[in-house]
Amino acid sequence: MTTPYQLLYWPGLQGRGEFVRLALEEAGVPYVDVARQKGGMPKMMASLDFEQTDHPSFAPPVLQAGELLIGQTANILMYLGTKHKLAPRAEAGRLWANQLQLTIADIVNEAHETHHPISTNLYYEDQKTEAKKRAKDFREHRIPKFLDYFEGVVQGGWAVGSRLSYVDLSLFQLIEGLRYAFPKTMARLEPSYPKLIALHDKVAARPNIAAYLQSKRRIPFNETGIFRRYPELDK
């Protein structure tokens, strides 16, 4: 491929874009993180605008792949999975990978809701009381419910079939994010999920991923992303 991929995502945070970055990095394909380049923001905004593109996305991340402009994280990953052997070729395996990715998207959404349970248009500080209640439920009920499920999924060592897929990369990122946002909760829960933690470690050790994590391309977690460390939301 002569034209590298262009990732269109907010600069300065991992967010949902990070699931795409991990797939691109593991695949070892060239890409430009457009909005992190000087003058890149207008290009990202154009991908959301009916005046400037035929198929704008509702929100980033968006991947430009040649003529194609692809939105929605799980959709981008499905595309990359097919092109770069990060998912099975057969229909049953592709559907299973997509199903798991959509289930990861569900807990990622819920992680975001813990600090914004009322409105994305209000500051965290203006919904902190509600956030504490929502986070309590997330810690006590939702994280265990999802991790129980994913622990079952990865019994064979990988999420899908007998080799790495984009789903494993996303499970790695999920664990990373939960550890960042809920360190006490995760310290307590992790011993119950040995297969999932082993998978996380196996992904972290892959050469391309290990190199990426140490590079400047990996934006540190912070309090503008999905996974935010607000100590009052952890126990």
Place of tokens 């909760």: 185
**Shortest Å distance, C-beta 124 to a copy of itself:** 14
Q: Which stretch binds a copy of itself (CB under 8 A): 48-56, 181-189, 199-207, 221-229?
A: 48-56
Binding flag, residue 149, a copy of itself (CB under 8 A)? yes
Place of tokens 């080799």: 163
- 4-23 residues in contact with a copy of itself (CB under 8 A) are none
Sign, CA dihedral 217-181-112-98, equals positive
Binding flag, residue 53, a copy of itself (CB under 8 A)? no
98 φ, ψ (degrees, to nearest 5): -65, -40
Please tell me whether the peptide bond between 61 and the residue prior to it is cis, using omega within 30 degrees of 0.
yes
Binding flag, residue 106, a copy of itself (CB under 8 A)? yes
Identity of the residue, 109 or 224, whose beta carbon is nearer to a copy of itself in the bound complex: 109
Of positions 85, 133, 163, 235, contacts a copy of itself by CB under 8 A: 133
Of positions 32, 43, 75, 212, contacts a copy of itself by CB under 8 A: 75
Sign, CA dihedral 208-2-42-112, equals negative
Of positions 39, 50, 162, 191, contacts a copy of itself by CB under 8 A: 50
Of positions 38, 89, 92, 125, contacts a copy of itself by CB under 8 A: 92
Parallel/antiparallel/unpaired status of strands 31-33 and 68-71 = unpaired
Binding flag, residue 78, a copy of itself (CB under 8 A)? yes
CA angle 113, 160, 165 (to 5 degrees): 75
Footprint on this chain of a copy of itself (rule: CB under 8 A): 50, 55-58, 67-68, 70-72, 74-75, 78-79, 91-92, 95-96, 98-99, 102-103, 106, 109, 113, 117-119, 121-122, 130, 133-134, 137, 141, 146, 149, 152
